[in-house]
Amino acid sequence: MTSLISDNAQSCCVLSPVQGPAGSELKRRIQELCGENVLECYQCGECTAGCPVAYAMDIAPNQVLRLAQLGLEDEVLSSSAIWLCAGCETCYTRCPKGVALSRVMDACRQLALERGVKPKELSIAKFHDQFLTEVRRFGRVHELTLTALYKMRTRDFFSDVFTGIQMFLKGKLALIPSLVKGRDEIRKLFARPRRGSSEK
């Protein structure tokens, strides 16, 4: 078995707080965006143990929090983990300290976009964006439009086609989008500046 440290020897963390307040800045922004104090985490690993998508992540969910505690912003924001998080909240349900990691993940995604960090999982970011575009337009998601536009954006036309046909045949994919009442209010909601970014 090789040691963990030598595997990652090239990526030694250098903490130099005296030269700048960057470390505590990340903690502060996360708390501002989602209300969670990352220092509350004591790294027991319960979140990683229960996470259904941890296997696919480049760093484990508890390490996202650990990096945030150390203020290593670039590493957190450029990870795939923050994008792969499905927001199922198993971590939050089981966390002995009551840290809502799923909210921290969300805050990190926001921060990544805000700071112009290219999402490690670009297609997921595009899906999120398309999803919100749908909601803004119709007040709810129209699956067929979402799928079509998502495929246009990612230029991946053929994956899941068979599933799509089956869903269509079973009447799961409506041809015409249904609209909700009060779409004006929804647009107003989207137009309202986000609290977190108001100072920028």
Taking the complex as a whole, the smallest distance from the CB of residue 164 to other proteins amounts, in Å, to 41
Is 80 among the residues that bind other proteins (CB under 8 A)?
no
Binding letters toward other proteins, positions 37-76, x by CB under 8 A: x-xx-xx------------------xx--xx-xx------
Residue with tokens 């209010």: 185
Which residues does 49 contact at the CB level (< 8 Å), separation at least 6?
94
Whole-angstrom distance, CA of residue 126 vs CA of residue 111: 16
First to last CA, the chain: 48
**Residue 37: C-alpha distances to residues 68, 87, 99, 133, 197 (Å):** 10, 18, 8, 31, 19
Taking the complex as a whole, the smallest distance from the CB of residue 83 to other proteins amounts, in Å, to 19
Smaller CB separation from other proteins, 18 or 191? 18
Size of residue set near other proteins by CB under 8 A: 26
Smaller CB separation from other proteins, 4 or 176? 4
Smaller CB separation from other proteins, 22 or 148? 22
Identified binder of other proteins from the candidate list 15, 86, 180, 189, rule CB under 8 A: 15
- Residue whose C-alpha is closest to residue 25's, from 73, 63, 77, 75: 73
